[in-house]
Amino acid sequence: MRDMTMSEVLTDPLIRQLMRADRVSLDAFATLLREAAARVDARAMNGTSAGVRSDDNEASAQLHGTIMQTEAV
């Protein structure tokens, strides 16, 4: 089994249903995926651990708040 590409994730019918149920926009989810991929790539380039640091948790919480605010409008 292989991981789905970002394009496959964004067009998968089940994921789209979950996004609708959670009121997450396609743009917000795509941004979340791109930013997560960029962090993983940056860590791979720096040779650092894939573990989550506290500043990553803060960034994730800020993005999550942005997604919720976007959908609440």
1-20 pLDDT, tens digit each: 999 999 999 999 999 999 99
Take residue 67 and report the two structure tokens written for it.
């997604």
Q: Which amino acid is it at 29?
A: F
Instruction: Name the DSSP class of 23.
Output: T
Q: Is the pLDDT of residue 56 over 90?
A: no
Q: What is the mean pLDDT of residues 55-63?
A: 58
Check if the beta carbon of residue 65 is closer than 8 Å to that of residue 24: no
Confidence of residue 73 (pLDDT cuts 50, 70, 90): very low
Residues with Cβ within 8 Å of residue 35, at least 6 apart in sequence: 59, 63
Alpha carbon distance 70, 28 (integer Å): 8
HSE toward the beta carbon, residue 47, CA cutoff 13 A: 0
